[in-house]
Amino acid sequence: MTQDTIQDLFLELVAIPSESGQEQEIITYIQTFLKQRNISSKPSKQQSGLVATLPATDETTEKAPIIAFSAHVDTATTPAAPEITLTNGYIETTNQALLGADDKAGVTAMLVAIDQLTQNPEPHGQIEFIFTTKEEEGLTGAKLFDLDLVEADFGFCLDAPGPVGSMIRTSRTHLQLDFWIEVGESHDKSAIQIAREALKKIHKHKFPTEMHWQVYHFGGEVLENGNEKVTILSELSADFPLEHCLPYVEQIKQIFIEIGVAHKADVQDVTHMNYHHFHLASTSKPCLIATQAMANLELPQQTVQLEGGTDANVFNDRGIPFLVLAAGYENPHTTSERIAVTELHHLTKLVAEIIKVTAN
């Protein structure tokens, strides 16, 4: 595909509404695209996406590692359909809408790779293209995805902001910790005072430098029965595995419980796992292959830290090493989201080069 054809495909995808939970139209588009090229695909359970598989081209390439590429088809909620313009080489919106390059840039690159491999069958091993849904809703699609459909030894997740050539080898553990404190209207201390006492004690607690705990919502209300209730929503993130986080989670919970008991307040809590930490060594197979492919294309390389989670967090946790590659878009989840046409082209070339390097 030429750069103009790649751009046109991206714009076709952007024009398809696909907010999380409403992805059927774009899934149908992909299924039709695959069927037109005689590529088999299998839907995953619970509408969590689909996987398209290209078999190895011959007996020699059957010995190559089986690789996968992944991208999510859904976008974050947008207030309006995007109205697109091309300005100084950038595709962006002219209205208060999200562009959806997160992650339709990744989807575009995968579809381009499929099209090129079917029209110009250079030698390659087995390749799997995983299209997930509901990524923007807590990585739900990847968490539900039927991995019995996937044989990959390792993979590449095309879903991070920044210039193509950036890679993410590590990601943090991320937990949601929510607390509720309730007291009667005749109580000697208010629920807000009790909550503040707990927070003050927690802030004096020593956490590892690689761990960060923050409250992002603190609000009180008076219930119909006259009781006062405070809601505390917080996040805990750390640069190490979940099992190393759990003692600190328990310490935070214990402080709330002890102060609640001391003041005869009702304390409740819920802990939710958002995504797990992962770490790929620079000498791991996906990192070595991606590094070589970038060098072959003379792309500027850099390893960066991604604050949010991706489907790669889930696939790594479920036993398939996945490296995250930047897909070229900027300002995701904002109305300033945009992507350079050249970045789209670089991404498609990188996918093709990774396939070539793996086969050799």
12 is in an annotated binding site: no
Q: Say if residues 308 and 103 touch (Cβ distance below 8 Å).
A: no
Catalytic residue list contains 250: no
Q: Helix (H, G, I), strand (E, B), or coil: what is residue 117?
A: helix
Token pair belonging to 155: 């993979």
159 is in an annotated binding site: yes
Q: What are the residue ranges of helices labelled H in the chain?
A: 3-14, 24-36, 101-119, 140-144, 191-203, 242-262, 285-296, 311-317, 341-359
136 is in an annotated binding site: yes
Question: Residue 18, CB half-sphere, CA atoms under 13 Å: how many?
Answer: 31
Q: Say if residues 323 and 280 touch (Cβ distance below 8 Å).
A: yes
Choosing from 92, 128, 135, 228, the catalytic residue is: 135
Cis peptide before 188 (omega within 30 of 0): no
Q: Helix (H, G, I), strand (E, B), or coil: what is residue 132?
A: strand
Q: How far is Cα 126 from Cα 319, in angstroms, rounded to an integer?
A: 19
How many other β-carbons are positioned within 10 Å of the β-carbon of residue 221? Answer: 11
Token pair belonging to 76: 């974050």
As annotated, the active-site residues are 135
Q: Which residues are part of a known binding site for Zn(2+)? A: 102, 136, 159
